Structure 1
């Protein structure tokens, strides 16, 4: 699975940019140590330097959710999400010959 989380810093705030950059790099290190990790990157938009991205790849959605729910995830990663854009972030990887997820309710009742 692929996770794309876009984040925005306050415009022209060098201190906030530096803090977010350091936080995202630390988040990448924390996540890389978790079971199910495949890879990831931190990036900054070339046209809008206030826009950042944290992309990660996981063996499955459960691995990703457990990593975020870990002690380190709650303490160091979730506070960064105050800067995250409110949009879906988890994607299934599309490969030839695989069935795609079907849209249906995830709970019963």
Structure 2
């Protein structure tokens, strides 16, 4: 499973953002189910940044956001992300998007 978070960071806030991002990456990297991370800055539009993480499954990612350390380090960073869907999966593993509790009909 891939989680792609994009950020728009004004140049004046770049150094602070990088520190915050690296701290969040450190926390996530130590969580069960973590596979890898890519942290990058857009070549053409330098105010755009991305943190892309891979997880063994969606549950691992969601559990990684729990706990005191994640709530203090990771969640504040993610609150700055561009508001767009961030979780991606192999198309063979993605079924219909049903509301919770809705079963097959």
- TM above 0.5, yes or no, is yes
The one of 44, 47, 52 equivalent to 1:50 is 47
State whether structure 2 residue 22 is matched by structure 1 residue 25: yes
Look up the match of 1:41: 38
Q: How does 1:1-109 map to 2 (within 5 A)?
A: 1-10=1-10, 12-13=11-12, 16-94=13-91, 98-108=92-102
TM-superposed CA distance for 1:107, in Å, is 3.6
TM-superposed CA distance for 1:29, in Å, is 1.2
**Structure 2: tracts of 5 or more residues without a match:** none
Structure 1, residues 47-100: CA drift from partner, whole Å, max 9, x if none?
A: 111111010000111110111122111101111123210000001134xxx443
The change in CA–CA distance for 1:52 and 1:99 in structure 2 (over 3 A counts) is closer
The change in CA–CA distance for 1:99 and 1:7 in structure 2 (over 3 A counts) is closer
Where does structure 1 differ by over 4 angstroms across 4 or more consecutive aligned residues? none
| TM-score relative to the length of structure 2 | 0.88
Cα distance in 2, alignment partners of residues 25 and 99 from structure 1: 30
Cα distance in 1, alignment partners of residues 60 and 99 from structure 2: 21
**Structure 1: tracts of 5 or more residues without a match:** none
Secondary structure at the counterpart of residue 7 of structure 2: strand
| TM-score relative to the length of structure 1 | 0.85
Aligned pairs, number: 102
